[in-house]
Structure 1
Amino acid sequence: MDLSAADVVEELKVLRKGRGIFSTPLADRVGPALRAAFGIFGDDDSTAVRRKLTDGLRPLVESLPEDLKIALLAAFALDERARKPFYQERVHWAARTLDRDDRTVRRRIDEGIEHVAAMAVSAGEPLSRSRFPSRGWHTEELRVTLALDRPVPEAFEFRRVVADADEIAELDLALTLTAPGDPVGESDLEVDVFHGGVLAGRVMESSDRIGLALRLPAPLRRGERRDLGLRFRANLREPHYVCVPRHPCEVFDLHVRFGDRVPGRIVRLDKASQEDTATLRGPVLEPDGAGEVHVRFRDLAPGFAYGIRWQPGVTAG
């Protein structure tokens, strides 16, 4: 559909009522303009709708001046401190926070909504779409939880793929186990498919890259989606974990658990070359009290690395 700022404004004003993004059923409160702006589809459940709204709205709201930002974070219940059951209660919370009266905050909310709608429309396409073209399929979201505090490191991967052409019957996935000087064999990687397809083949694509063919239950038509769940076990040969997408990837969300053996230095790798993954350059990440770090990336460019690297052999504390 042709996205209209006026339509987005009207639908945002509906969304702010009641519990905001925590209204139920949420899908009934989201009209065609918001669906187009934030990549929400008819088969998305309330959890997916809420996630897409939150992921789409938050960066737009946080780019606003401070008073408008606080007003809109409260209006849509994006700030956990303002998750009140009624819109008027959230307005009053923002008024106290900004030291303004409720009427002023309502004007700020209306002004902020106008700005957010304009930014959403100026994107020219759904905000959750990848900026990189795909001739076959792409990943809408990849969520990985990696546990390094196990005898053998273990990763759970949950991926949602979207067909960009008709008759997509098989997905070509791959993992790299970097091993300087030592060749990697297929037996070095254990793969279990929990849902979404059948592992149809494995092949060594290079000395350290293992290709995986995942056959889908039925071919996908253009625009159709498939959720996948896989588990991988492998001894990591290098102190990093990255996603190097072969196909475009809209969102990559990574949790890494070190447990009680937290390295002395952990850095974020963002659109790094394969050579850069061998360095400790990048923003430093601070693990939480459980020895975990969390990073999130958007619009991953095929062929580049996204993830983390840590200093081997050094434990913090």
Structure 2
Amino acid sequence: MRGRARGGTMGLSAADVVGELKVLRKGRAIFTTPLADRVGPALRSTCGILEDDDTVSMRRKLTDRLRPLVESLPDDLKIALLAAFALDERARKPFYQERVHWAAITLDRDDRTVRRRIDEGIQQVAALAVAPAGPEQGPRYPSRSWHTEELRVTLALDQPVAEAFEFRRVIADIDEIDRLDLALSLPVGAESGESVRESDLDVDVFHGGVLTRRVMESSDRIGLSLRLPEPLRRGDRHEIGLRFRANIREQRYVCVPRHPCDLFDLHVRFGEKVPDRIVRLEKALRDDRRDRPPHGAVLRTDDAGEVHVRFRHLAPGFAYGIRWR
């Protein structure tokens, strides 16, 4: 039998959460081991942490609860808090002061200013955490059939042929959804004058349906139709897992959703061949994807030669992802 969360939501105040967040940010923050001694009843209650949860489960629940709240803040507070709690992979340093200094460099501010930003951000996150839940809201962009609740892609560019694993959770917005119309844009250098061929893309379905159709929709976009195991009714969720292999001829990887997408999480592994410049693309027009030189927020790889970006509330028809040179 699963345990219960310590404490309850009755009487939970923002001040309770503020106090516990200030304790959590010390040392390695969410990567402290063991984590149980750092997490008090207020955070256990608001994050749904149970008495018998281990450190890995507690860390996951803290991350799942805190990250969306932090990412809803203005950019300066967001960066400061992502560093404070070691939620940003680039700021996973063993000491709080080191993470403060990383945020100061990133924001081009001094350490004292960043510490004030962190305190301000903690106040706002705590208020959001204890705010009464409003009525459930649908996706930010309207959907006529289905939308993606979560899309997670891992792309390995250090292979002989670029390979991507895609895991997607969709929600039906009407009854009798029996197929998903998917598409993938393969980058082709504009200067080459080439077009993508259907044979340039290998697709394997790992779970969630049967691939029934492939068609060229444009010079760089291949449409895919996936028949589901059984029709979905409105509100039903369904998960699919795909593997793509393709020769990427232009230095970018983007998602251009046809249907609304609540979350797009992208890991890209460059390995030893790290580009000189990697930038983040967010809500870019199709023509913007090929601008020279690439512009946008500059990204840095970690020690494994990887970058990680996350996007929320993707608008259909716009591009989200990364470019490099």
> In which range does the TM-score fall when normalised by the shorter chain?
0.5 to 0.7
Which of 134, 142, 146 pairs up with 2:151?
142
Provide the rounded CA distance (Å) in 1 between the counterparts of 2:59 and 2:211: 28
Q: For residue 163 of structure 2, what is the aligned residue in structure 1?
A: 154
- Give yes or no for the alignment of 1:286 onto 2:312: no
Aligned partner of 1:4 in structure 2 is none
Q: Which residue of 1 aligns with 2:50?
A: 24
Gap change, CA 1:230 and 1:150, over 3 Å in 2: same
Partner of 1:102: none
Partner AA of 1:156 in structure 2: F
Alignment match, 2:251: 239
Supply the AA of the counterpart residue of 1:225: R
- Paired residue for 1:203? 215
Q: Distance in 2 between matches of 1:110 and 1:281?
A: 34
User: Do structure 1's residue 299 and structure 2's residue 313 form an aligned pair?
Assistant: yes
Q: Secondary structure at the match of 1:56?
A: helix
Aligned match of 1:254: 266
Q: Distance in 2 between matches of 1:270 and 1:240?
A: 13
Q: 1:213 to 1:182 in 2, by over 3 A?
A: same
Q: Aligned with 1:251: secondary structure? A: strand
Amino acid at match of 1:142: L
| SS of 2:301 mapped into structure 1 | coil
SS at match of 1:135: coil
Report the more deviating stretch, 11-20 or 301-310: 11-20
Q: TM-score, normalised by structure 2?
A: 0.66
Q: CA deviation at 1:9?
A: 7.2
Residue ranges of structure 2 left out of the alignment (5+ in a row): 1-8, 18-38, 86-91, 95-114, 116-121
Asked if 1:174 corresponds to 2:216, the answer is no
1:201, distance to aligned residue in structure 2 (A) = 1.0
% of aligned pairs identical? 56
Count the aligned residue pairs.
254
Report the Cα distance in structure 2 between the residues aligned to 1:51 and 1:225, rounded to whole angstroms: 23
Deviations 1:242-265 (A, max 9, x none): 000000000000000000000100
Does the 8 Å CA contact 2:208/2:241 hold for their aligned counterparts?
yes
The residue type equivalent to 1:234 in the other structure is A
Which ranges of structure 1 fall in alignment gaps of 5 or more residues? 1-6, 28-44, 74-78, 82-97, 99-108, 312-317
Q: Is the 8 A contact 1:60 1:119 kept in 2?
A: no
Deviation at 1:163, TM superposition (A): 0.5
Contact conserved, 1:195 with 1:230, CA < 8 A, in 2? yes
Give the deviation of 1:19 after TM superposition. 7.1
> What residue is the counterpart of 1:309 in the other structure?
323
Normalised to the residue count of structure 1, the TM-score between the two structures is: 0.68
Quick one: distance in 2 between partners of 1:286 and 1:51?
Answer: 22
Residues 133 and 248 of structure 1 are in contact (CA less than 8 Å); yes or no, is this contact kept in structure 2? Answer: yes
Residues 257, 65 of structure 1: alpha-carbon distance in 2 compared, 3 angstrom cutoff: closer
